[in-house]
């Protein structure tokens, strides 16, 4: 893992500096986060060559070539134009400029280098000289720069134009998706006061597996075994956590345990899940058009999904009134459904779902809503992003039922933080609370047998309550 060093340096866990990482590792230059990235001295040259390429090249003919041939044609044209420039350039500078000009013509310009790095999980453009990236939960200021705000706007238009979306003063926010599935949010002035802003949540080409999450320390083998049993036994599960805590990643991992013979309907805004089963129907919301019509909400899609003969419904994230329809689905024979919700704790997750149902304006009494929540949701798995950037499952909690007007829960597994290492890493361990979940009876009915000591305290562990 990369840890922030002094004055823009970084240290790896093997003790090497940024310039000394092992062979095959990708390293992006990191700038002191207290200052902006240095201005690109060749920005004007690149801009002139790019504009001249767009004027002179017959792009329709050039784009008939595919892959490497297309890029080679652009680079050859850029090299020819560079030769006519008066700016003195070394061979290394010339090669770099040609590559960056090709990125501008064929891709997303300065962002291409960040998007191509498999270790980068998120890219954030705050202003022309403040482009951040996230690697293993830690934010860094990169040396990537844009020429000016108009350059950022050009890249935003390049992202959203093929999708039929628009962004202007009348509609200054947009959500979109790159061809590889990466999620993009853009917001421009007057809402973004200082500069047009882009946030890209990168799409993983190789989805993580449960084994990967165990290796990363996100969960333990015991929790992995238990959650696998929950999915196979059709236990309705909610994954909760804060922004960037890994909810969608865990949802994707758990969905891999759904048997291939089942029909799965996924509902997302936008699509991010990468299910491998053969019988999957993916539904995605649609924003309103320029006239303000044609919007299709998650609630409408959940209602429609109930008419599509689903065995399982997976809602990427419940945010509003669709929570009520999701509860109805869970309560009417669509067991084993999965969803995520933004929340600070398992109990907060249930409270947020309750508030979302109230947003549906159904005029239901609070007790009736809580009864729906208690009967529909069986398990809440809560994730947290810790101070060192690591993501951990901190609670696995079972919804037990109602006592009076209160939904009762019991923690099956809990994460206990034991301290912080000198290098900033969080020390802690996940342990069973010693309580036997009620859903174990459901496991046995399905023929799923768990290890007898999976819910027992290990020797030396003390009873701990948060």
- Reported as a single tens digit per residue, the pLDDT across 410-420 is 999 999 988 88
Same domain, 284 and 309: yes
Q: What is the mean pLDDT of residues 174-203?
A: 91
C-alpha span between 305 and 302 (Å, rounded) = 5
Burial class from Cβ neighbours inside 10 Å (0-12, 13-18, 19+) for residue 248 reads: buried
Name the band, by pLDDT with cuts 50, 70 and 90, for residue 222: very high
Of the pLDDT bands very low, low, confident and very high (cuts 50, 70, 90), residue 23 is very low
Residue 430 lies in a domain: yes
In this structure, is residue 18 part of a structural domain? Answer: no
Examine the domain organization and report whether 384 and 350 are in the same domain. Answer: yes
Q: Which residues contact 115 (CB under 8 A, 6 or more apart)?
A: 107, 108, 123, 178, 182, 200, 202
**Is residue 399 in some structural domain?**
yes
Of the pLDDT bands very low, low, confident and very high (cuts 50, 70, 90), residue 458 is: low
Q: Are residues 424 and 302 in the same domain?
A: yes
Domain boundary among 88, 106, 124: 106
pLDDT of residue 290: 72
pLDDT at position 395 is 97
Q: Could you read off the pLDDT of 336-385 as tens digits, one per residue?
A: 999 999 999 999 999 999 999 988 888 889 999 999 999 999 999 999 99
388 in a structural domain = yes
Q: Do 401 and 274 belong together in one domain?
A: yes
**CATH code of the domain containing 359:** 3.40.50.300
Given a contact cutoff of 8 angstroms between Cβ atoms, the answer to whether 50 and 146 are in contact is no
Confidence grade of residue 33 (pLDDT, cut at 50, 70, 90): low
Lowest-pLDDT range of 6-20, 166-180, 289-303 = 6-20
CB atoms within 10 A of CB 378: 23
pLDDT at residue 11, rounded to an integer: 34
In a domain, 363, yes or no: yes
* One-letter-per-residue 3-state SS of 287-330: CCCCCCCCCECHHHHHHHHCCCCCCEEEECCCCCCHHHHHHHHH
CATH code, 170:
3.30.450.370
How far the first Cα of the chain sits from its last, in Å, is: 28
For residue 16, tell me if it sits in a domain. no
Instruction: Tokens 């001249």: give the residue.
Output: 52
Among candidates 334, 332, 336, 298, which has minimal Cα distance to 315? 298
In-domain check, residue 17: no
Tokens at residue 132, please?
């951040």
Residues 148 and 263 reside in one and the same domain: no
Report CA 178 to chain centroid distance, whole Å. Answer: 13
Whether the CA torsion 355, 360, 366, 367 is positive or negative: it is negative
Q: Band the pLDDT of 423: cuts 50, 70, 90.
A: confident
Range of the domain at 139: 111-204
What band does 32 get if pLDDT is binned at 50, 70 and 90? Answer: low
Among the ranges given (27-41, 217-231, 394-408, 431-445), the one the predictor scored with the smallest mean pLDDT: 27-41
Inside any domain, residue 181: yes
DSSP letter string, 218-278? SS-HHHHHHHHHHHHTT--EEEEE-TTSSHHHHHHHHHTTS-TTS-EEEEESS-------S
Q: What secondary structure does DSSP assign to 364-408, as a single string?
A: --HHHHHHHHHHH--EEEEEEE-TTS-EEEEEEEEEEEEETTEEE
pLDDT at residue number 110? 92
Counting Cβ atoms within 10 Å, is residue 460 exposed (0-12), middle (13-18) or buried (19+)? Answer: exposed
Identify the residue with better confidence: 65 or 382: 382
Q: What is the pLDDT of residue 308?
A: 93
């Amino acid at each position: 893992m990369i840890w922030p060093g002094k004055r823009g340096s970084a240290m790896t866990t093997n003790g090497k500096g940024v310039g000394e990482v092992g062979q095959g590792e990708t390293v992006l230059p990191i700038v002191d986060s207290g200052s902006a990235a240095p201005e690109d001295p060749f920005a004007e040259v690149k801009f002139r060559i790019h504009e001249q390429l767009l004027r002179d090249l017959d792009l329709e003919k050039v784009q008939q070539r595919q892959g490497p041939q297309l890029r080679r044609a652009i680079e050859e044209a850029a090299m020819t134009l560079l030769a006519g420039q008066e700016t003195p350039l070394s061979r290394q500078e010339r090669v770099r400029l040609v590559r960056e000009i090709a990125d501008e013509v064929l891709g997303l310009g300065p962002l291409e280098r960040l998007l191509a790095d498999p270790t980068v999980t998120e890219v954030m453009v705050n202003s022309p000289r403040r482009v951040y990236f996230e690697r293993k939960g830690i934010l860094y200021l990169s040396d990537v720069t844009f020429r000016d705000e108009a350059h950022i706007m050009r890249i935003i238009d390049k992202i959203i134009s093929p999708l039929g979306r628009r962004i202007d003063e009348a509609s200054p926010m947009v959500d979109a998706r790159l061809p590889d599935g990466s999620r993009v949010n853009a917001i421009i002035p007057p809402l973004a006061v200082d500069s047009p802003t882009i946030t890209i949540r990168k799409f993983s080409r190789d989805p993580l597996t449960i084994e990967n999450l165990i290796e990363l320390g996100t969960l333990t083998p015991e929790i992995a075994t238990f959650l696998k049993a929950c999915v196979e036994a059709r236990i309705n599960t909610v994954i909760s956590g804060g922004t960037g805590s890994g909810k969608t990643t865990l949802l994707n991992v758990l969905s891999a345990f759904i048997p291939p013979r089942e029909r799965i309907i996924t509902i997302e805004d936008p699509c991010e899940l990468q299910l491998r089963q053969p019988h999957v129907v993916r539904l995605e919301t649609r924003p309103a058009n320029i006239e303000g019509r044609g919007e299709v909400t998650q609630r409408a899609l959940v209602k429609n999904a109930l008419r599509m003969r689903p065995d399982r419904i997976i809602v990427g994230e419940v945010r509003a009134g669709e929570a009520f329809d999701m509860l109805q689905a869970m309560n009417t024979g669509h067991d084993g459904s999965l969803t995520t919700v933004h929340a600070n704790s398992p109990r907060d997750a249930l409270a947020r779902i309750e508030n979302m149902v109230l947003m549906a304006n159904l005029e239901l009494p609070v007790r009736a809503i809580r009864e729906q929540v208690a009967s529909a949701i069986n398990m809440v798995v809560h994730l947290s992003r810790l101070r060192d950037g690591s993501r951990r499952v901190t609670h696995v909690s079972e919804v037990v039922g109602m006592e009076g007007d209160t939904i009762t829960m019991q923690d099956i597994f809990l994460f206990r933080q034991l301290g912080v290492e000198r290098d900033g890493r969080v020390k802690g361990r996940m342990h069973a609370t010693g309580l036997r979940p009620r859903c174990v009876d459901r496991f046995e009915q399905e023929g799923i047998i768990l290890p007898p000591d999976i819910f027992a305290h290990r020797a030396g562990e003390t009873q701990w309550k948060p």
